[in-house]
Amino acid sequence: MNLKPTVEEQKARLRKEAVTRRAQLAAEYDASLTRMGTGLARFAVSLIDQFCPTIVAGYWPVRSEIDILPLLSALQDKGVHLCLPITGLAGTPLSFHHWTFGTALDTGHFGIKQPFPDAQQLFPDVICVPLLAFDSRCHRLGYGGGYYDRTLANLRKQGHKVSAVGLAYAGQQIDRLVTGPYDEQLENVLTPEGWLVRQE
């Protein structure tokens, strides 16, 4: 009997493919992820124009994730306050804490750089979200821990108006992602080539 794969089984297969694809894209964009990260920085003004943020949450890029630090630096130069996530125990939402370039960072779960716990907690207007793949509807394939989906749902439930923007290489786009009931949709996706506006 052929049973249709579950959503989670389909996602697991897509994750393996997406990890390989993103690593290839990082290599294709040459020795320098920095070059592509600088490409993202060109859109700092348009991000501000779209969302008028006071506080933007970034993330510290790891593995083959696109380098968003030049974008964050450009936002800071334009007066936007920055924060980075602190990852807690599995099943808990992220919390975001104030950070500026030059401030020392702690090492959290999964070896990712994050603010020290005593840094001021902030509630961002825009959250920059890492991803493995995305589609034209701005659905996102993450790593499977559910941290960002849980965080966005929690903030919105508490009444915080927050926009989620995916950051990626353009080549990470796929035709259509399978989604589950707890997947939070992104407002749009920013690549070095420009903005992807969500298609319904």
pTM: 0.91
Contacts (Cβ under 8 Å, ≥6 apart) of 61: 33, 37, 67, 68, 69, 130
| Residue whose entry in the numeric block shows the structure tokens 């003004």 | 45
> Quick one: DSSP state of residue 181?
T
- pLDDT digits over 118-161, tens only? 999 999 999 999 999 999 999 999 998 899 999 999 999 999 99
pLDDT for the residue numbered 50:
96
- Residue 84: is its pLDDT beyond 80? yes
pLDDT for the residue numbered 136:
95
CATH classification number, 7-180, choose in 3.30.9.10, 3.40.50.10420, 3.40.50.261, 3.30.1330.10 = 3.40.50.10420
Instruction: List Cβ<8 Å contacts ≥24 apart for 101-104.
Output: 101/72, 101/73, 101/76
Q: 109 pLDDT band (50/70/90 cuts)?
A: confident
Of residues 147, 145, 114, 143, the one with CA closest to residue 131: 143
- Residue 48: is its pLDDT beyond 80? yes
- Residue 2: is its pLDDT beyond 60? no
Helix (H) or strand (E) holding 114: strand 113-114
Q: What are residue 134's DSSP bridge partners?
A: 140, 173
Q: 180 pLDDT band (50/70/90 cuts)?
A: confident
- How large is the angle between the packed helices 69-77 and 33-41, nearest 10 degrees? 30
Q: Is the dihedral of CA 146, 148, 152, 158 positive or negative?
A: positive
pLDDT for the residue numbered 197:
85
Q: 26 pLDDT band (50/70/90 cuts)?
A: confident
Alpha-carbon span 76 to 74, nearest angstrom: 5
pLDDT for the residue numbered 30:
60
Tokens of 57: 């949450």
The answer to whether 93 and 151 are in contact (CB under 8 A) is yes
Ramachandran sector of residue 91 (left: φ over 0; alpha: ψ -120 to 50; beta: rest): left
- Residue 25: is its pLDDT beyond 80? yes
Alpha-carbon span 15 to 124, nearest angstrom: 28
Helix (H) or strand (E) holding 27: helix 7-28
| Residue whose entry in the numeric block shows the structure tokens 């996530």 | 85
